[in-house]
Chains A and B, each alone.
Chain A
Amino acid sequence: MMHIDDDTLLKFVLETLDEPDNGTVRDHLSLCPICSGKRLELQREVRSLASVDFQVDAVVPPRLPQRSRRSMMIVRFAAVLAVGFVAGYIMSEVSAPQTTTTVGQQLRPAPVAAPITRPAPCSAIDI
């Protein structure tokens, strides 16, 4: 039985083989324990590359921009103002005295003013 060469096996492990060749290698590996052993060894080596452990300290993310915070503050402030305005309006409506006038009151004639009396001239007053 012809064994798979090292380059082809590495390409298979790296998943860089195109489909016809990939299938051929897969079929061979299912039958050949020697090549399967080599494949496992290669896989272990390749995985060790991916598992390199860097000392990456926990770092805080950059601060969110002030613009969005400021806009959130403005929105909150506007909401509080709106709620206050609506509540104030309702309260004033509830507590205000009711000043209703009837039709009879509206049609009643205005009171007649007293006749204006002309004052006597100063010469007429006998002091």
Chain B
Amino acid sequence: MNEDWEQLELARAGDETAWRMLFQRHYGPLVKMTSCIVGLVDPARDIVQECFVRLLHCKIKHRDGTFRSFLSTMAYRLALKEKGRRNTNRRIGDLDVIDDAPSPLEEAIRNENDRRIVRVIQSLPDHHREIVALRFFSGHSYEEIAVITGIPIGTVKSRIFHAIKSCKVKLQERETSL
């Protein structure tokens, strides 16, 4: 969307209104997507704030793609970095204990059905969860996801299919177990 690029230019020149509009339009989906990748809401919020700070200072080489893809690529990379950092900082005593207590991410969701869905998505392997987050929480097309993640579009489609199939099976299992 060209309007987003224009608003970024205005914001960089000091226009507060353009900056707020840009932020409000993209903040929610980005937090949802990064929360899903990192598994926590607060670090996801920090990542998105960091993205917007970088937007003001970074040198943009080309504007061929959409602004949303550009922003999501930045957020996606920062989220992967944050996730990697958290994984390496984990010690033996911090290993996850399998229990029914809601995760911090689930606690950020009010609706019980939505919580169930997020719990299932969180149980997916990382490479599946990332694609699901980009597709369903940020609303990117398969072509955009391929550019953001740097993997072939065929692989993106294949991963989304297996991820959703897995989600479907797990949700059915939970329903029957209840």
Residue positions of A touching B, CB distance < 8 A: 7, 10-11, 14-16, 45-46, 48-56, 59, 61-62, 64-65, 68-69, 71-72
Contacts and interface: CB of A to CB of B under 8 A. Distances in A.
B80 interface: no
Contacts of A10: 161, 164-165, 168
Given A61-B23, A61-B52, A62-B52, A49 B167 contact: yes
A55 B56 contact: no
A4 to B, nearest CB: 15
Interface stretch (B59-67, B81-89, B111-119): B111-119
A68 B164 contact: no
A58 to B, nearest CB: 8
B121 A64 contact: no
B136 A50 contact: yes
B70 interface: no
Interface of B: 11-14, 16, 19-20, 22-24, 27-28, 31-32, 35, 41, 45, 49, 52-53, 56-57, 108-111, 113-114, 117-118, 121, 132, 136-137, 139, 142, 157-158, 160-161, 164-165, 167-168, 171
B32 A52 contact: yes
B114 A56 contact: no
Nearest to A65: B56
A54 B32 contact: yes
B132 A49 contact: yes
Contacts of A7: 161, 165
A49 B117 CA distance: 7
A53 B137 CA distance: 10
Nearest to A45: B168
Contact of A62 (B14, B53, B118, B165): B53
Contacts of A54: 28, 31-32, 35, 41, 108-109
A107 B111 CA distance: 103
Nearest to A68: B14
Contacts of B53: 62
A28 B114 CA distance: 33
A14 B118 contact: no
A48 B115 CA distance: 11
Given A52-B32, A54-B41, 13 more contacts: A10-B161, A10-B165, A14-B164, A16-B157, A48-B117, A51-B114, A52-B111, A55-B109, A56-B28, A61-B20, A61-B27, A64-B16, A71-B14
